[in-house]
A = this chain, B = another copy of it.
């Protein structure tokens, strides 16, 4: 059996309250006594029993992060960021792998209530009324990471997807591309879907490039779906010179399709992604993409959450994290191109 507070008290010749105070309010106890107690604590290797403290003040020092799938490196990265701040705040983080399934979500929530987790970081699935209701019932602080809940006034940490998507598209245009196809996520996805879609449209319009349903194809945000989407897009736009995909997974699926068609990237078709997953630098050529500071998003969400836990009243503000375009090898500059591969010399406006 582990030593209890009573063992420490006895051995140090003080009352158990004194021992407790040494932990929770050290200043309030006489230096000499404190040192004696600390000494004994050390000797006995005493540590407070978390169940007992939890029972008293109903706090677990545990937070939970809910993500659709751990195997997706986007979330793994975010989790790393959350973990870092958690560890330094002496919190433990547990993971809820929801796989975008409401039933599974409920299963977890039941568990969390039972475990009395102190806070929740919810990542990247659309916030429907269903989720919102459950958050409310949980009665613990909730931070959204890479999702948005403006409708319900939930604090969030995320990238400005519209702006980033606009810039990605503009980058392609500045490189001389006009026939640009867009592989969109599902438009019902509030962030990665809708906003990136509109960012694309916005940039095209701003550069007076016409767009129509011909330019875009909708897809789930996975590698396989990206592959299929590229097939459809290519059928619709055989003349395209560039493809912009709303996620790296899709972009890499698209590259796979192009490769299989004997189309070289970027010689024949340029490709631009979004997310900067680790894999984007592993493929050949490296994928030019929009980098989210995913780790940073996790850290910030964690920090905000702890703040909310410590100080329940204060209203939290949503935060936007910077993004950046990472230029690697999949976008060809058609403007100052000496040799387009077909031997011709061209300068576009």
Interface residue ranges, A against B (CB under 8 Å): 47-52, 54-55, 58, 60, 62, 69-71, 73, 76-77, 79-80, 83, 87, 90, 92-95, 97, 107-108, 110-111, 113-116, 223, 252-253, 255-256, 259-260, 278-279, 281-285
Contact partners of A278 in chain B: CB under 8 A:
71, 223
Q: A76 touching B80 by the CB < 8 A rule?
A: no
Min distance, Cβ A5 to any Cβ of chain B, angstroms: 13
- Quick one: closest B residue to A117, CB to CB? B92
How distant is the Cα of A38 from the Cα of B93 in the complex, in angstroms? Answer: 33
**Between-chain CB contacts (< 8 Å), 5 pairs:** A50-B54, A50-B116, A51-B52, A70-B79, A223-B278
How distant is the Cα of A87 from the Cα of B107 in the complex, in angstroms? Answer: 9
Whether A282 touches B284, Cβ cut-off 8 Å, given contacts A95-B95, A111-B92, A114-B48, is no
Stoichiometry (number of copies) = 2
Contact partners of A111 in chain B: CB under 8 A:
90, 92
How distant is the Cα of A285 from the Cα of B256 in the complex, in angstroms? Answer: 8
Contact partners of A70 in chain B: CB under 8 A:
70, 76, 79-80, 83
Contact partners of A256 in chain B: CB under 8 A:
282, 284
Whether A71 touches B73, Cβ cut-off 8 Å, given contacts A279-B282, A282-B279, is yes
How distant is the Cα of A51 from the Cα of B55 in the complex, in angstroms? Answer: 5
- Quick one: closest B residue to A113, CB to CB? B47
Q: B76 touching A114 by the CB < 8 A rule?
A: no
How distant is the Cα of A87 from the Cα of B96 in the complex, in angstroms? Answer: 10
Contact partners of A282 in chain B: CB under 8 A:
223, 252-253, 256, 279, 283
Which of B52, B76, B259 is the one whose CB lies under 8 Å from A71? B76
Min distance, Cβ A107 to any Cβ of chain B, angstroms: 7
How distant is the Cα of A92 from the Cα of B282 in the complex, in angstroms? Answer: 34
Contact partners of A284 in chain B: CB under 8 A:
255-256, 259-260, 283-284
Min distance, Cβ A221 to any Cβ of chain B, angstroms: 14
Which of B94, B253, B281 is the one whose CB lies under 8 Å from A94? B94
- Quick one: closest B residue to A223, CB to CB? B282
Chain A to chain B: the 9 pairs with minimum beta-carbon distance, closest first: A51-B54, A259-B284, A51-B55, A71-B76, A70-B76, A94-B94, A51-B51, A252-B282, A279-B279
What 4 additional pairs, Cβ within 8 angstroms, besides A47-B110, A87-B108, A90-B111?
A50-B51, A71-B278, A253-B282, A259-B285
How distant is the Cα of A101 from the Cα of B199 in the complex, in angstroms? Answer: 42
How distant is the Cα of A285 from the Cα of B69 in the complex, in angstroms? Answer: 26
Q: A93 touching B95 by the CB < 8 A rule?
A: yes
Min distance, Cβ A104 to any Cβ of chain B, angstroms: 8
Contact partners of A259 in chain B: CB under 8 A:
284-285
Which of B49, B71, B90 is the one whose CB lies under 8 Å from A55? B49
Contact partners of A255 in chain B: CB under 8 A:
284
Count chain B CB atoms within 10 A of each CB in A48, A115, A281 and give the residue with the most: A115
Min distance, Cβ A106 to any Cβ of chain B, angstroms: 12
Contact partners of A107 in chain B: CB under 8 A:
87
Which of B51, B97, B114, B260 is the one whose CB lies under 8 Å from A80? B97
How distant is the Cα of A279 from the Cα of B253 in the complex, in angstroms? Answer: 11
- Quick one: closest B residue to A49, CB to CB? B55
Q: A115 touching B92 by the CB < 8 A rule?
A: yes
